[in-house]
Chains A and B, each alone.
Chain A
Amino acid sequence: MATENIIEIRGLNSFYNNSQVLFDISFAIPRHQVTVIMGVSGCGKTTILRHLTGLKKTGAGQIIVDGSQDLGTSSETMLMQYRRRIGVLFQGGALFNSLSLAENIATPLKVHTKLADETIRIMGIMKLNMVGLDEFSDYMPSQLSGGMKKRAGLARALIMDPEILFVDEPSSGLDPITAAGLDRLILELRETYGMTVLVVTHELESAFKIADRIVVMDRGTIMAAGYPEEIRNGKDPRVQQFLSREADPHKIQSESYYERLLGGTGK
């Protein structure tokens, strides 16, 4: 019996060396929906992504998959099995430089399946077509623009038909038109394949366009979590400030400011 939430995060605390970057994070990722984690740079959203993909070990807290498997205590084999169900799109696409697009996309298939080369080639072309890159299958990554690399990375993330797609900052480095195209693609994936998608972003427009659930983060804690309308109409001033993109009212202590400016401690 499949649980409603494919992943549940409970009480996740995370550290880089000695500084804490995540404080008691708890939320759920529902199946077949797009969840967006929003926040300014440095709020910890990418760290959550690294925990969810197993790249960072979960020590304090639990990440429950399918109601039963805890990623934090999973053996390597179980982690590998989990990873075969997910696809990850990294910020720069993370394509392998020495392989062409077609070879890049074929990599998971070559390793995990015994499919014939021709079948792999066809599947690759289909996925490239989905992201609009089928003419470029023999190009090397260095010959592509940033947006094309991201789309190719998405095709590779989708080649094994994952249940969950993790996307790290889809719009970063993209022009508005290409970014909108990626957003459309994510929505299509949910519509057509019932894919569960987790997007990490700081782009407000994009987030509200694609999200079924939103989690707003600030400095390692969750400010708000819920449906997009709830977040938009919420009463929390910090959330409203984030949404209206107001700069922090910068309170300058005039004396200490002048001291620093003039480079001395006295008058």
Chain B
Amino acid sequence: MVNPIESLGAYALRQVSSAGRLGLFFIYTIRGIILPPAKFWSTLKQIQFIGTKSFVVVGFTAAFTGMVLGLQGYHTLSKFGSEGLLGSAVGLSMIRELGPVLTALMVTGRAGSAIVAEIGIMRIEEQIDALECMAIDPFSYLVTPRLIASLISVPLLIAFCDIIGILGGYVIGVGLLGVSQGAFWDGLTASVDWSDLSMGFVKSVCFSVIIVWVCTYKGFYAGVDEGTFGPEQVSRATTDAVVISSIAVLIGDYVITSIML
């Protein structure tokens, strides 16, 4: 195709077709909730995969992030003589921003990449074709359990992250740097209110959907556009998915914050 207008047209058609496929993918996944097969056990399995296995990673991230917040927060606030506000600084940062975003990024790297690889390998080994030929809807069988599991696990992981982060900030602020215990907790409970918690909750739901949607989509269509089905397609799908998912989380974070703040 030498003609640049033809190429542009072809490119535009491809993009629209991809966007349509992404949308349809989501609709089929939602439809999969009502279709057979029964998903209880596979959903539980996925909750264990996404949730339980990400526990430690998220815990570590939260602890050290909270501790750094404690350090940095104290350092900055002490310039204004406002060390007492450390509790609210740490609490609001974790609940509004860092808890949701960092957890989402960790889960993407840990569970998201594994999901892409798992489903991508199924695609290249014709296992998804085999499901279709057995009259089993692959969206309902593969994707829907992961969506439900993500919607359950990720918000819980984010809540866990918030708690550990605040505790981390407490240990450094009160334990190490001498902020008064009462000031820390009072500051925290005074400044954190329902709008902050709901912002955190909305973000957690949105991020959990983004992560699982991007990762399952990339795995499901690994190699399909090119027509070759091999390890290279799976590895490319995995890296693409992690990058796209992370960027989408960050953009989504800005959008939600600007709407809800």
Interface residues of A (CB under 8 A from B): 16, 53-55, 80-81, 83-84, 86-88, 90-92, 94-98, 107-108, 110-112, 153, 156, 160, 166
Contact = CB atoms under 8 A, between A and B. Distances in A.
B227 interface: yes
Contact of A54 (B122, B130, B132): B132
Given A110-B37, A111-B37, A83 B130 contact: no
Given A90-B126, A96-B122, A97-B121, A83 B36 contact: no
B136 A107 contact: yes
Given A92-B125, A96-B122, A55 B130 contact: no
Nearest to A112: B135
Contacts of A166: 133
A94 B134 contact: no
Interface of B: 36-37, 118, 121-122, 125-127, 129-130, 132-136, 141, 227
A94 B37 contact: no
Contacts of A16: 227
A50 B122 CA distance: 17
Nearest to A16: B227
Contact of A97 (B122, B133, B135, B227): B122
A96 B36 contact: no
Contact of B126 (A54, A86, A92, A110): A92
A94 B135 contact: no
Contacts of B133: 53-55, 83, 86-88, 166
Nearest to B121: A97
Contacts of A92: 125-126
Contacts of B37: 110-111
A96 B227 CA distance: 21
A94 B136 contact: no
